[in-house]
Chains A and B, each alone.
Chain A
Amino acid sequence: MAANTISITVKIWRQSDPNSTGSFENHRLEDINTDMSFLEMLDVLNERLTLSGGEPVAFDHDCREGICGMCGAVVNGIAHGPERETTLCQLHMRHFRNGETIAIEPFRARAFPPIKDLIIDRSSFDHIITAGGYVSMNTGSAQDGNTIPVAQDKAEQAMDAAACIGCGACVAACPNAAAMLFVGAKVSQFALLPQGEPERKKRALAMVEAMDKAGFGNCGNERECENVCPKGISIRNIARLNREYIRAAFTAD
């Protein structure tokens, strides 16, 4: 890894609070080491802004390992930026060119109100889980783990769905700001496993209802969600959600 540096211009969204109208601000950054992560580049920007008397850019982040789902922004028009299956924190500057202008703005959706700069409110996702994204099982009442066998391929498929980090990129990328990939992933995880069986119908109905209530749009089969998902979650999960929903709606008692 020989150290290379590039110079870039960031065109970044600034908005001081939920009620103000935001706008883009330009900053030139010289000597950006290409081994830096995207967030480290923003750290450098913030250090410079701070020391020159400005206010640093507010952005959410925590694990910086692509797993907590805290980070996220639209970079050059793509949620989490140009690399496939990569969260913003795992994106590295070697994927940008010297002299490039990089546009950075928050995930935008009706159900994700802005808070400040790149920070948005994603509590609508928590509301959806509250509606039914669980197996009702009190601590202490479980039987021995191996008494519930799960075929390996089913466990793997459930894991594929359960890998969702709840970042919201799917919503940001969707022209209708739908949350079907997020909901589909959770409903699928449980629909694929025997543990999810008892509450299967109730869960699908309740989570879809909560999703509608939170102001997410409808799925128009645009597939943009799948393209930007940092965990590669497949839209097959949306198809499964639709099946689960219909099954529940027509057979519920």
Chain B
Amino acid sequence: MQLDAQIPAGALAEKWENCKFTNKLVNPANKRKYEIIVVGTGLAGASAAATLAELGYNVKSFCIQDSPRRAHSIAAQGGINAAKNYQNDGDSVFRLFYDTIKGGDFRAREANVYRLAQVSNNIIDQCVAQGIPFAREYGGTLANRSFGGAQVSRTFYARGQTGQQLLLGAYSAMMRQVATGKITLFPRREIMDIITIDGRARGIICRNLITGKLERYAAHAVVLATGGYGNVFYLSTNAMASNVTASWRAYKKGAGFANPCFVQIHPTCIPVHGDYQSKLTLMSESLRNDGRVWVPKKKHDTRPPAEIPEEDRDYYLERKYPSFGNLVPRDVASRNAKEVCDEGRGVGETGLAVYLDFQEVIKRDGLEPILKKYGNLFHMYEKITASDPSREPMKIYPAVHYTMGGLWVDYNLMSTIPGMFVLGEANFSDHGANRLGASALMQGLADGYFILPYTMGNYLAQAGACDLSTGHKPYDVAEDAIKEKTKSFLRHSGSGRKGLQTVDHYHRELGALLWDYCGMARNKKGLEYALSKIPEIRAEFNENTLVPGTGQQLNQSLERAGRVGDFLEFAEVMVRDALAREESCGCHLREESQTEEHEAKRDDEHFTHVAVWEYTGDDREPVLHREHLEFENVTPSQRSYK
């Protein structure tokens, strides 16, 4: 596997310009001769599909949900970053670049991150022009809020529904192209395999989720914008259908998988409440602007929060990180919550929660302004927990939220399979070992609106046209394998055999194992244990899962079985990656590698690289490749938020 990052020549600030200038172009009249498949309609996929179609390409757009508007991106709450410096508080492209690189603990490519900061401003302009109702100041200008890991106010938002509004904007742009005939929609489809012919991505096979039929589609290029794999942990803040399937099947076709162990655990989520729990709910990080995080000083203090006087409270983030306080980056906040709970100072029924308290700010500013900012979040919290955060502090605990790891891509967002591009959360590109709040929406839209449309032309201009028939042998081979697998999943259907389990049973088991051993803190012994357990769970799953019904119908159990089957394979690579990275960095805390103050300790000498895994066969260990990271414009320093 060759890893050539294709970073353009020139000074950091000129690289993207240079790239655009040296790119080959497809002339406007020729664009309509090209077919492009875009899988996924989240921010990344929808923005890419719309923009490619505006340019004149023919786009086929696929998603699992019944409408592109329902992709997981819809759930993003807090906001989107941009280096507009509208607040006149010292922001700049370089500062956004620097914060993102530093937030990612110096494990991302400088050139990519700088470009992201550069195009961030275009995104806001584009979204405003689409009619997205961003929050405004009285004078009519755009409003901003602050987010963790930054000391400037650069986050644009639409109440607590920023993802929804941005996605509906991109969806609208897509639907406009549906009207022109440039985009054809294929909703309720799940991609089952990528077809490569002559070493180039040329098509896909997907399952029609209504009829169960396998369908073949060919194109000159394939774009995956299929989101993150956080659901490998079973419980996460991701939507239920979020999966690794598309990425995993691509990996098996030759796409390198980068940094799979980099998983973000978000500090402010509603704690787990029972074993029937199906997902976790995020409480936006913006709450940390005004809420104060604390636990009792004493262990196992069971007094209700109101009865614990100030002197018995430990505002541990403010105490340990006086300059960032409650606004430290996510990984730091999560780890500290785990630490105090492990010490026995956690609160709530399970002891796995900390308080996020709004009493002081309500006393200072009054209830009304707080409700204006956070009313919908308070409401959601109360709906789920039956407790009102304006009277009683919220109880929160970290939960799996976002995956920085993903398919490896070069500067042009192309994977190691020529002609297959990967956008949004599905790629690994910009967030290093930890993502800052409000940067995923920025990256998804940067990839789709402003980067891929340029780099795609460069690829097509060179690769040229190809035969688009779907009768080629690789389609037959892939389809046979999918059919075989489906048959195997369904073999117990109607058998009445005893001792079988549902798909979710094994998914929960895998999730619990990963949370314990490949979660917020990791060590060699635990990871080796997990690595030995995963094949056992997988064998059990393959042997004893009961998937009812047939393959020729809408069958949600079969859908889940396919996704969990892939999670069970993928988990092994994730744990292997965590084991191989013997340093701590960002989200990845290796207990063996800590500073004296229990902060993550990087090992730049040995690990300043992207770890990229190559598939070599089902019964063989994957091969680890390394893309070395060069830092020419910033000096990697030990992150400090003190």
Contact = CB atoms under 8 A, between A and B. Distances in A.
A-B pairs, top 4 by smallest CB distance, nearest first, are: A149-B140, A134-B172, A142-B129, A145-B128
A92 B273 CA distance: 13
Contacts of A82: none
Contacts, number: 222
Nearest to B158: A159
Contact of A134 (B127, B161, B176, B386): B176
Contacts of A159: 133, 158-159, 161, 165
A251 interface: no
B173 A134 contact: yes
Nearest to A36: B276
A67 to B, nearest CB: 5
A11 interface: no
B548 A40 contact: no
A40 to B, nearest CB: 5
Interface of B: 47, 50-51, 54, 65-70, 72, 74-75, 84, 86, 122, 124-142, 158-159, 161, 163-165, 168, 171-173, 175-176, 178-179, 185, 187, 210, 239-241, 273-274, 276-279, 281, 349, 380, 383-387, 449-450, 453, 494, 496, 500-502, 504, 546, 548-549, 553-554, 556-557
Contacts of A50: 502, 546, 548, 557
Contact of B142 (A55, A94, A146): A146
Contacts of A221: none
Contact of A17 (B500, B553, B556): B553
Given A123-B66, A163-B161, A137 B84 contact: no
Contacts of B450: 139-140
Which size bracket describes the interface of A in this complex? Answer: 35 or more
Given A122-B66, A155-B136, A67 B75 contact: yes
Given A1-B273, A69-B69, A86 B383 contact: yes
Given A142-B126, A159-B159, A195-B131, A68 B136 contact: no
B137 A152 contact: yes
Instruction: Report which residue of B72, B187, B276 has the largest number of chain A beta carbons within 10 angstroms of its beta carbon.
Output: B276
Interface string A113-143: 0011001011101100111011111111111
Contacts of A135: 129-131, 172
13 contacts: A60-B66, A67-B74, A125-B67, A126-B67, A131-B179, A134-B172, A134-B173, A135-B130, A135-B172, A149-B136, A156-B133, A159-B158, A196-B131
Please report whether the interface of chain A is mostly helix, strand, loop or mixed according to DSSP.
loop
Interface in A84-128: 86, 90, 92, 94, 115-116, 119, 121-123, 125-126
A138 B52 CA distance: 10
Contacts of A166: 67, 69-70
A252 interface: no
B53 to A, nearest CB: 10
A78 interface: no
Nearest to A62: B239
B548 A56 contact: yes
A126 B385 CA distance: 34
A1 B353 CA distance: 14
B172 A58 contact: no
A79 B606 CA distance: 58
